[in-house]
Amino acid sequence: MQIPLVPLALASLLSGHGLRKHSLSPSGALAALVVGFLMMAGGTRVFGVTLIGFYLVGSRATKYGKNRKALLEDGYQEGGYRSAWQVLCNSASALVASVLWNAAFAPTSVQAAGARLLGVDVAALVLHLNNTTPYDTSDKGWCPASTTVADGWSRALMFASLGHFACCLGDTLASELGILSRSRPRLITTLKAVPPGTNGAMSFGGTVASIVGGGVVGTLVGVTLVLENAKCSEGWSHILFESVCWGMCWGGFGSLVSPDSPWK
């Protein structure tokens, strides 16, 4: 098995960048390196592109309006400075989905090699599939977003990753940009107007930011699928519409279920 050097280099570059910019703590950078490599290495670029987009947009939003955030928010840290635990919380279910997808549908991937080393047949034991067709991006292959492929498991895992990052980016943008909203936030329980930065309060700006964040993730997934896969490109309009709509829904939902946003 050969180590995919490009994914390793990209993961190293991004984790090192986060460490230098204080977006990541040392433990967070190490966790980001491992997570990034596993999500970028594999049979499809979708998982890696989504992760990179989430990291770059989220990091930029964290730094935006930092002076005002420091005045409004107690314990504000300029760079975000995410720990390994925070990195894993922001990637866990998407990481599991990407590992399962690659182990089942990309037999030459490092994930599949790891599963074989452990003696685990992911397709049979985890997904309960009798047989799978290796991923093929040509016009003779299949689209990962298809409902008819592998009893829908490819689509389910792909959209699980989309939903995860849409929720996370929606939450991040709601927290980081919602606090800067010009509209007065209101408590979700009583609708009473409260100061910016109050947990449990909802602002128009934060809500819009969360939905837009989810839409960004959906766009990344849809565009990557269409550009990467010939079968997906045949139904490009449906795939883009579906991925963006699901992303926006999950972006808004992710901020609503968060304990402290978009309510800032």
Position 97 in a domain = yes
Residue 3: predicted pLDDT: 81
How many structural domains does the chain have?
1
The verdict on residue 210 lying in a domain is yes
Q: What pLDDT does 73 receive?
A: 58
> Residue 259, SS3?
coil
Residue 173 confidence class, pLDDT cut points 50, 70, 90: confident
Q: What is the largest CA-CA distance in the chain?
A: 60
State mean pLDDT over 97-108: 97
Rounded-to-integer distance, Cα 166 and Cα 172, Å: 10
Residues in CB range of 185: below 8 A, 6 or more apart: 178, 193, 194, 195, 196, 198, 201, 202, 203, 206, 263, 264
pLDDT given at position 61? 82
Note the pLDDT of residue 263: 36
- In a domain, residue 74? The reply is yes
Indicate whether 263 belongs to any domain. no
131 belongs to a structural domain: yes
Strand-pairing partners, residue 24, are: 82
d(CA 24, CA 36): 13
Q: Name the CA dihedral angle for 95, 160, 99, 103, rounded to a multiple of 10 degrees.
A: 180
In a domain, 262, yes or no: no
Q: Which domain holds residue 230?
A: 5-257
Mean pLDDT calculated for residue range 64-81 = 56
Across residues 106-132, what is the average pLDDT? 94
In a domain, 264, yes or no: no
Residue 260 has pLDDT above 50, yes or no: no
99 within a domain of the structure (yes/no): yes
Taking the C-alpha atoms of residue 135 and residue 154, their distance in angstroms, rounded to an integer, is 10
